[in-house]
Chains A and B, each alone.
Chain A
Amino acid sequence: MAIVRRKMTPGWFILLVFFVIGALLSLFPFIWMVIGMTQNPNDVVAGKLIPGKEFALNWQKISTTYETVSFFLNSMKIAFITVILGIAVNSLAAFGFEKYPSKARDRVFGVLLLTLIIPQMAIVIPLFKEISFMKLLNTHAAIILPSVMSVFIIFFLRQNFKMFPTEIMEAARVDGAAELSIFVFIVIPTMKATFASASIYMFLTQWNSYLWPLMTILTDKMKTLPIAMFSVMRAYTIEYGGLMILVCISTFPILVLFLAMQKQFVQGLTGSVK
């Protein structure tokens, strides 16, 4: 019943010690952020590891100074709407590209892939001018609309749609099914895992996005969690205990999602690598 599979040599032993230390280092910030929520600010900064008793006080301070509940709700709302619109738009496109092959559409797909190279910063500078021209600055639409279409998601879904047998579509057509209903009633239900992976990826990307909301959101009430945490950090007196609460609020939904759906989560994040 040994934990280790190999013969224990000194070299292996040292390697395993580092392996365990590495795992502890990976885990430590998660434990510490929970402890930090309960401590007074000085203990957070000093990095004390004993839980304190000031959670209620920290929460009261942070939620009276900042729109803490709004931050959470804004992040949730933006991420959910992005996923719903994004999955609808991108999956339809991926299906169109994959199951209705044509030279013209393949060329369009090539152009899409080409723009995948362009760094985000090069897009957001002119995009900011466009969004401000559209009078969308400081709205959640400014965050949602540009992230609906994702070339990466279209690519990911298209790769997976390759596995869907075209014969099933033919059979459904013979039965008189319309093209859209083939997609909605046959393809989507059989490829739930793929859709889950893509949704998780989109949710996570939007939930964590920082650069673009930082540019477009100006008032406290409209802020999402990442830019809210940044503002708390930037304040003259930093509410460290409250900040740790925000860090936990931003981390735990994703953590739960990960633990509940590990397989789809990892697949979504690492793309279509098999």
Chain B
Amino acid sequence: MLKIHNRYHRYLNRTGWGFIAPALLFYLVFMLYPIGSSLFLVTQKWRGMSREFVGLGNFVRMAHDQVFWKALSHNFLFMIIQIPLMVFLAMVIAVILHQGIKRFRGIFRTIYFLPVVTSLVAYSILFRILLQTNGLLNNFLLSLRMIAEPIGWLNDPFWAKITIILALTWRWTGYNMVFFLVGLQNINKEIYEAAEVDGASQVRQFFTITLPLLTPVILFSLVTSTSGTMQLFDEPNVLTWEGGPANATMTAALYIYRQAFVLNSDFGYASALSYVMVIIAALLAFIQIKVLKERQ
């Protein structure tokens, strides 16, 4: 009897491996192998097809690469300014949708979510056309006399950064709104009724009930957005054109891409740079897990 039982277990165990085998095969070939081979790549200096061994030379070179560190600082700049702005907007929109309006709720929710369906390239192109110096936004602002002369949304180093921030906010606010809507649905309505009886104003209700109960969602939104911003690539490449003007919107991922594919086709150096991204991503993930666990 025991023998049959054991054999059956071994059969189930084999089935389990069988089920995950195809995925593991893909994982090995297209994930583990590249990760492993980058350990070799990173020690080489590539010039097209030829290469030479440089050991840790790529990392020494990286330490002096000011454009790369500047690019990386832009990632953090976008993170610090854009993410809080977007999460705040997402929360306000969700609260209005959930508690503020009675009709057209579904329509407004759908409209606010709509930007998420656009591809990053498509919306970057749209924004690029709209934000040209003689484009629609400048014409509109000029006609309202809100500005005296056209703003260089794409040509001015300062405004180009603003452009990226605005574009990211347009694309991702609705996405984050969904998390807040779920969070709001989980708040017990009786808490509000009790507050109403106590005569608490709506503003007070927001700050004493809604906001504290949404804190986990706020943290979730904040931390999940960081990894996307860390990998920012499509928008600076398409919208502000190859990290322009004068590298003002260059990001780490875009700079690595350009090292490997546009400027020098140096895959060794590009790999070394990408190691920095991996380390930062790991640190961010570590912080994320800590923060989310503590909250639970």
Contacts and interface: CB of A to CB of B under 8 A. Distances in A.
Interface of A: 2-6, 9, 11-12, 15-16, 19, 22-23, 25-27, 29-30, 32-33, 36, 44-47, 88-90, 92-93, 95-97, 99-102, 105, 108, 112, 115, 117-123, 125-130, 145-146, 148-149, 151, 154, 179, 183, 204, 207-208, 210-211, 215, 225-227, 229-230, 233, 240, 243, 247, 250-251, 254-255, 257-259, 262, 266, 269-270, 273-274
A16 B31 contact: no
A207 B260 CA distance: 24
A39 to B, nearest CB: 11
Chain A's interface: helix, strand, loop or mixed, by majority? Answer: helix
A12 B99 CA distance: 12
Interface in B1-52: 12-13, 15-20, 22-24, 26-27, 29-35, 37-38, 41
Given A122-B274, A215-B261, A258-B117, A22 B93 contact: yes
B100 A29 contact: no
Interface of B: 12-13, 15-20, 22-24, 26-27, 29-35, 37-38, 41, 89, 92-93, 96, 99-104, 108, 110-123, 125-130, 132, 134-137, 139-140, 170, 174-175, 178-179, 182, 202-203, 227, 230-231, 233-234, 237-238, 252-253, 256-257, 260-261, 267, 270-271, 274-275, 277-278, 281-282, 285
B168 to A, nearest CB: 14
A26 B134 contact: no
B274 A125 contact: yes
18 contacts: A3-B102, A5-B100, A5-B101, A19-B101, A29-B118, A88-B22, A92-B19, A93-B23, A96-B17, A96-B19, A100-B19, A121-B233, A126-B267, A247-B122, A257-B117, A259-B110, A269-B175, A270-B175
B231 A119 contact: yes
B38 A122 contact: yes
Nearest to B9: A102
A53 to B, nearest CB: 20
Chain B's interface: helix, strand, loop or mixed, by majority? Answer: helix
Nearest to A127: B34
A240 B126 CA distance: 10
A26 B174 contact: yes
Contacts of A6: 99-100, 202
A3 B26 contact: no
